Structures are given as structure tokens and as C-alpha cells.
Structure 1
Amino acid sequence: MNDTLVETLSGIRGIYGASLTKEVAQNYARAYGIFLINKFRGKVRVVVGGDTRKSTGILKRIFIAEWRGLGFVVIDVGVATTPMIELAVREYRATGGVIVTASHNEPEYNGWKLLQASGAILGVKQADIVIRLARAGNLNVGGNKKPGKIINRTEDLKNKYVQFILKTIGLKATQQIKQGKYKILVDPNGGAGGVIADKLCKRLGVKMVGVNMRPGQFKRLVVPNKETLAYLTPVINKEQADFGVGLDCDADRAEMLIKSESQIAKERGNMINGHEALALAIDALGPKETIVINLPTAHLIYQVTKKYGARIKEVDVGETNVVAEMEKQKSLVGGEGSNGGVIVAPGKCRDGLLNAVLVLKLMAERKQTLEEIIAGYPLFFEERKIVTARRDKSGLLKTRIREYYKKRGRKIQSAPGVDSGIKILFNQNNWLFFRGSKTEPGVFRIIANGDDRRLVKRMILEGEIIFDKLNR
């Protein structure tokens, strides 16, 4: 098992007790504390929450102890989802906070995400400051004679999150959902989503079939996908649920499934992919503002948004890139179809449960089943491959790939910056995407996506061949 401490803009992650130690946590708590003291020069309020891993409680206590020692007011929200904790920062007017989670990684991993006052994770420059301070170690920030106050808001936050969801969909949609008498299956896999899913469903008048609801009891791999959620299909069929939702440990990622007995499932499969999930959320919200997506999001989104007259802005892969552009464009909705999940302002991250509720909103408004709605979307296909560059050739490979396709007259898209992925357009809806991993040296991901199945297969094969040729 590969265990290298990952320290990036997206957060810190490692196996607890190995690369991720109490000392690492203390260094980051102190580094972030210094950052907040320097930034706000006054009373600091921080939110602390996390998922259901065994080590989460230990790590939370370290952050709480360090920050109380600096005189910070600490707001403990207990076990909560990432969207809930980010909401808490805004609702309780905090200056920042920490989410203790390793998200979709397996239970032996843990980590944390450090937050801005908006609830969003730290930006590039901010994260760089904290990481450099933490790596330096031996941080003497001085003691505070009077420890900071600790406030528990665990139950209050649950109520605030439910209210946030209801406000997002509106009173009319809430009533329509109640009248629809829907039934959904929810599988949090022992993760943080289990602490709020039932309460949310009850407020919406939705009957919930809970699977793997006991906190900290992980019955499948944490990341929700077609393979890990396959065992839910017979349960959805048996219960005749309108759809099922599988969550990761902090419930920012969600994958949805429909009954396998339906005609559309027989034709397309019963998993709603990330591109379709984003399209459903956009349809539910009907935004007029600019919609922000990442480069490897299917052009299905362009077709769905035509009726709303909304402009689409593409950015590089990464939730922070989507959120930053949404703030700039004053967007209502955005997301990464390639990674699953929708971001709805003022939220600053993907929210799996909100995505599911938006689907219910759309079903109630249209008085259609999810199968009927999906059947109205054009079918897009996707193929993926992981390849490895020769040592010290990653940067050169991007240049070579770009030059290769430029000579052949292909239109090329990328975002600003040397780390951006490269998107090669074969026609309006079909494209090939290359991106080097930021956490795995030399690893490249190749994605082909489009509405022409034969062309998609041809593109992914061509991508592998060209990569191998230019990698020599």
C-alpha cells in the first residue's frame, strides 16, 4: 500500500499512524493558527467537524486543543458532512475551520481540509503559506493565559443544513416533493451522510430506505461508483425505490442508480453518471447565469443549458478552480461532470445529498420518473485510461501533445497555467483529454468523451498510441 503524506491545495492526506501522525496534525493546527492570527488580528472563531473514521476524533481533539490554546473560540459541530461544515463556517460567522476527513479514500486514511471565512477551502497562495509553515515545524506561537471557549453546535447545524436545502429548492418545490410521496434508497456506507439523511428525507416527506447507516461501519469501498454500488441494485428493485444514492465518507460525492428493470436501464445501464447528475441539477435550477464546468465535462451540459440561455465557462480540473470561477462569474451552479457532484452557491463544494434533492425537485415539477427524464437526454459515451510518463518527461509531453494536434488542425482548449489539462476537440461534442496528476508523479489520465461511440473508442485508442509515441 502506497503511503506518502499528500500535502496539496485540496488538503492533507495519509494513513493515520504512519505518514499522518499527531505531530503532523499539531504542526498544521499551529501553522493555520498563525495564518489566522496574522490575517484577522483580532478574535478568531473556528469551526471543527469531521467524518466517521476511527482516527477523526483524535485529530479533532488535536486541532481543538491547539486552537483553544491560542485563545480561539472553537465551534464543534461533531460528525458532519463536508457541505455541512462549510455551511457552519458561514452560518456561525467563523473566520475559518477544519474538516477532518480523507473523503473518498479508504478508512485507514485520514486528513483535513482547512477553510476560508467563506467556507471554501484555502486558495493557492493561502494553502502554500500554511503548508510551508507546517513543514518547517518547531512552531512556537506562544500560549494564551485564558483558553478559548468551546461551543457545541452539532444538533443546531443539522437544522441549519436542512433549512439551507429547503431554501435552495424553494417552498413550492418542497410542497411538490411532499405530494409526490417518493421513496429513495440512501447508502452512506457508515459515513457522515448518515447523520443527516433521515432528518432531511423526513422534512421532505420522502420515505428513506437506509443501507449501511451505522456510523464508522464501512461495508464497501468508500468511493461510490458502478462497481462498489452494484450490490444496491437488487435492493432498489425489491423496494421499488424511485432511485438510490451512494455517498462517500464526507458525502460530497454521490452516485445515483435507477431500477435495473426499466427500459432505459436496459439500454444505458442503471448508473446515473456524473455528467448526467450535473445536467439534472442544472435542469432543476434553470439558471440564467454563467455555468462553470471543468474541461473534461461532457458536452451534454451545453445541450441541456441551451433552453436557459446560460453561458458556459470551462476551467481546469479541481473543485477550487470551479468555485473560484463561480465566484468571479457570480454563478448559481457549477460542477465537475468528470468527478461527479454539483456545487450550488453560496455553497463552496460538491454536495451529494443536495444533488439528490434537486433530482427530486425536477421529478416533482415535471411529474416524471427519473428514468423518463434521463431518457430525454442525448446519450454520451466515455472511455478512460491511466498511463505513465518516462522520468522527467511530464512537462515536455504536454508540449509535444499540444504540438502534435496543432499540426493536424485540431482545436485545443486548456486553462491558464502550466498544470492545466489539454482538451482536443474532434468535433462539437467529441473530445480527447490529457492531464498529468498533481499527486502521482508521472501519471497521466486520458479521457475520451462524446456522443459518437465509435469515435470515442477511436479517440481513446489514438490517445494511448500518441502518448506512447511521444513518450519515447
Structure 2
Amino acid sequence: MALIKSISGIRGTIGGKVDENLTPLDVVKFTSAFGSWLQNNKNKQNLTLVIGRDARISGAMLNSLVTATLQGLGIDVIDLGLSTTPTVEVMVPELQADGGIILTASHNPKQWNALKLLNEKGEFINGKDGAEVLALAENEDFNYAEVDFLGSYQTRTDAFDIHIQKILDLPMVDAEAIRQKKFKIVVDAVNSTGGIAVPMLLEKFGCEVVKLYCEPNGQFPHNPEPLKEHLGDICALVKAEKADLGIVVDPDVDRLALVDEKGELFGEEYTLVAVADYLLKHKKGVAISNLSSSRALRDVAHRHQSHYFASAVGEVNVVTLMKEKEAVIGGEGNGGIIYPELHYGRDSLVGIALFLTHLAKENKTVSALRATYPSYFMGKKKMELTPEIDVDALLTKIEIAHQTEEVSTVDGVKIDFPENWVHLRKSNTEPIIRIYTEAFSQHEADELADSMIDKIKQMI
């Protein structure tokens, strides 16, 4: 069905033909490439990698292939077993490893899986490094270890405990304030590893946990992307249980969505906004999101006499700008919270802890807290073009046509109007322009996208 090779890893559907899907041979090849790249770039004899996986049906198979391949290269493996993306990211530096591999396809359906590649800091490898790994995979230039020099293998079962304790130790997490509230919380973990980690964290806070789809068997009961159209069950259960809120995570627990006490979605874009509101209230600084994320984060930052900057789309780009600006908080509008006091990676668990602290200290219901933030509505459309059209030249025309407005060309073209914005990005794989908009109503957001499409048609 599909195999997508990118600078941050390899993603595809299980089964089918080699180099067209994520087959065992593809897994071995790309694991070999990453392991070989590390060996070529590290000035040390013995390397150690940390691996962990979400609960996908194919996870155990991929785990065996990755583990054996790394050992075959002479690399020692520390296997966390069922884990989360942020937990693996935390454990790489904790165990002083040389890198890590996370086996997860994030929010993609169950037929997908992927290898996500981490450096020694537990962060996704950058574009240059990823390109070198892909080149090694293409050339298949591997040198495996002789029998006396095979890598060792060990397991760790304490990774969740370590990750959660690091969260509890954060100065901005007030566990006692949360305990006093005795929150009742419904958790939808889409039958993946969030079903282990999220209740563990909430129980540390003395919360009453109602589990929905928390069995880590990889049988996703609904589309695992935490969007409104997929979350009817938890919205109904929050109301039925008279819970204080609902928590939704994707299969690898790097995206966080919230449901208020009325069974209404808090809004994925507003997870980051609420956490930033809490942190910047206590420490003025910088907040970062990407260009396609809500303007609400900018508004909240300015409310606290703090600064806001936008990066190109992609977690690696957000992290790069966060480091450059020494940001207090950052993330993406898909519910990804990056809190550098813990680590530079999207982490639903630290997001939950910071949000609950904020909720407890504000002494408001979730819906009342949401009402304190400006309400924006986003539109997402795409425009298909014929292959002969020069998309870059077209985007330049759009930029020139709007030069009297606030325009960013960091990633495509984003035009900030006083009351709304539009962001145009080209696809790297097909002749398509993706059009993202935000305004004070859904009608206005959709109308803005349609008007931009009309303008583009006139330019062609």
C-alpha cells in the first residue's frame, strides 16, 4: 500500500512487496542504515540503543527484527517493550545511550507502523543526518559484526516509573493541588500504551480514573487520530459518568486532546494554549508553535507580556526554534506539548500534569477555563494543480500580491491579516497546494480558503 522514507524515519503499511510497503526486509535495511550511520559518526567502540514500541499488532514482529539487526551490527540493545514516544525520548539520555528507535506510526491506522530515529539526546535526528541515513540504506553499505562481537540485549521494565517521577519532580507540577481536587477523569487511549501510562500518572495525582479503550492490544476501536469525528464515545461517557474531564491520547502518546465536563471537545489547538497560559503566567518568556497553529497562542503570550514565534511545520523545526529562542513552552496545534524543562519532544504525560495543575489552581471547570481563551476556527482545504505548473513560482506570485500584509515565507507562504490568516504549503509528493486558514467563525475560515483558491486560479 505505501512506504514513506523521510529524514526522521521510515513509515509504511505492513505486508506486500519490498520497497513498496514496510516489509521485514525494509525494516532490516533501514535499521542497518541507522545503526551503521551511528557507528560511522561516533568516536567510541561500543554503542547502545534504546528501543520501545506502541501496542500495534505488528509491533512485536518489528521489535524482533530491529533488535536482531542491531545486535548483528554489534550494537547493544536496551528494550523498553511497550512504551510511549516521550518515554523512549526520556530514557535515551537517562540510560546514556547513543540513540533510540521508536516503533510507532503515531496516529495512523493499525495497518501502519514506522521506525522513528532518535539521537543521543533523545530527540529526532535532523534533516542532514536523516539524509545520510537514507543514503546508506540506498547503497546497502553495511558491515555486520563477527560472532564474538554481537551486541548484547537487555530489557527494562521501569521506564514509565522513571518518566512519571521526572514529571512529578518538575517545579511547575503541583501534585498536591491536583490531589486536593479529586478529579474524576475518563481516559481514551485507543487500546495502545497510553492505556498503561496515563492511568499510572493520574493515580499518582489521586484521580479517579474511568478507563475507555485502555487495553494495550493494538485493536484500535476507532480511527486513532484524536479528532472530533472519532471521539463520540468518550464525549458521551464523560457526561454519563459526570466526570470532570476526558483525556484522549494517540497510540504513541505524543498528542493530547481534552474533553470538558459537558462532553464537548476543548479543542486540540487549545491544549498547548492552556499549558502556555499557566507557564507564562508564572515565568515570562517565549512560546513557540508552527505556522499552521492557532493564533490563540500568540494572544495568550502577549497577555502575559511574553513573546511568540512560529516555526516551519514539523516537530524538528519547532524544537530548533525553541532552542534558538530559549522558549519556556512550545509545541504543535495537534495537541503536542513540548516542555524543555523535561525534554525536547512532544509529551502528552507532561502536558496532562501541567494542564491539571493549571485547572486545579484556577479553580474552574474545564469549560469555564476554555471560555477564558479567544475562540478561533480553522479551515483546511487543498487545491489540486496540473503537473506542469511551477508551484514555487505560484507561491511567489501570491507573496508579491500580498506584500502590504504581514507575510512569512519560512514554510510556504503565510499571510497574516488583522482578523485572520491563511497559510499555503505545497506538497512534496504531488502537485497540490494545502490551504490552512483561521478566523473568528468556521464560515469565515472556509470563505477565506475559497477566496484564496479563486485568486490562485486567476494567477495560473
Task: Indicate the larger mover: 107-116 or 457-466.
Answer: 457-466
Partner of residue 462, structure 1: 451
Partner of residue 430, structure 2: 441
SS at match of 2:149: coil
In the alignment, is residue 260 of structure 1 matched against residue 262 of structure 2?
Answer: yes
The aligned amino acid for 1:297 is S
Q: In 1, distance between residues paired with 2:345 and 2:274?
A: 17
Partner of residue 210, structure 2: 209
1:318-346 CA-to-partner distances (Å, cap 9, x unmatched) read 11100111122222310112x22211114
1:297-327 CA-to-partner distances (Å, cap 9, x unmatched) read 2221122122432211211111110011112
TM-score normalized with structure 1 length: 0.91
Distance apart, 1:92 and its partner CA:
0.7
Partner of residue 114, structure 1: 117
**Which residue among 269, 273, 280 is the counterpart of 1:275?**
269
The aligned amino acid for 2:64 is R
Q: How many residues were matched structurally?
A: 450
1:54-65 alignment to 2 at 5 Å?
54-65=57-68
In the alignment, is residue 425 of structure 1 matched against residue 377 of structure 2?
Answer: no
Distance apart, 1:165 and its partner CA:
1.7
Q: In 2, distance between residues paired with 1:349 and 1:233?
A: 28
Partner of residue 182, structure 2: 181
Q: CA RMSD in A?
A: 1.8
Q: In 2, distance between residues paired with 1:58 and 1:469?
A: 52
1:341-388 CA-to-partner distances (Å, cap 9, x unmatched) read 211114222222322222211111111111111111121122221222
Partner of residue 284, structure 1: 278
Q: In 1, distance between residues paired with 2:387 and 2:171?
A: 50
1:373-407 CA-to-partner distances (Å, cap 9, x unmatched) read 1111121122221222221432232222222323x
Partner of residue 373, structure 2: 377
1:24-49 CA-to-partner distances (Å, cap 9, x unmatched) read 11111111111111211312111011
The aligned amino acid for 1:389 is L
Partner of residue 336, structure 2: 341
Distance apart, 1:452 and its partner CA:
5.9
**Which residue among 164, 168, 177 is the counterpart of 2:170?**
168
The verdict on how the C-alpha distance between 1:183 and 1:24 changes in structure 2, with shifts beyond 3 A counting, is same
Partner of residue 25, structure 2: 23
Q: In 2, distance between residues paired with 1:389 and 1:258?
A: 41
Q: In 2, distance between residues paired with 1:392 and 1:85?
A: 44
CA contact (8 A) 2:8 2:126 kept: no
The aligned amino acid for 1:421 is G
CA contact (8 A) 1:99 1:112 kept: yes
Partner of residue 410, structure 1: 405
Distance apart, 1:87 and its partner CA:
0.7
Q: In 1, distance between residues paired with 2:51 and 2:237?
A: 36
TM-score normalized with structure 2 length: 0.93
Q: In 2, distance between residues paired with 1:10 and 1:273?
A: 27
Q: In 1, distance between residues paired with 2:171 and 2:186?
A: 20
Q: In 2, distance between residues paired with 1:414 and 1:335?
A: 20
Q: In 2, distance between residues paired with 1:198 and 1:463?
A: 45
Distance apart, 1:432 and its partner CA:
0.9
1:116-148 CA-to-partner distances (Å, cap 9, x unmatched) read 111111100000000111122263344352322
CA contact (8 A) 2:72 2:144 kept: no
Q: In 1, distance between residues paired with 2:76 and 2:445?
A: 54
Q: In 2, distance between residues paired with 1:151 and 1:212?
A: 30
SS at match of 1:106: coil
CA contact (8 A) 2:73 2:143 kept: no
The aligned amino acid for 1:399 is T
SS at match of 2:293: coil
CA contact (8 A) 1:169 1:361 kept: no
Structure 2 residue runs of 5 or longer lacking an equivalent are none
The verdict on how the C-alpha distance between 1:168 and 1:463 changes in structure 2, with shifts beyond 3 A counting, is farther
Partner of residue 327, structure 1: 323
The aligned amino acid for 1:69 is G
Identity in percent: 30
In the alignment, is residue 360 of structure 1 matched against residue 349 of structure 2?
Answer: no
The verdict on how the C-alpha distance between 1:151 and 1:223 changes in structure 2, with shifts beyond 3 A counting, is same
SS at match of 1:168: coil
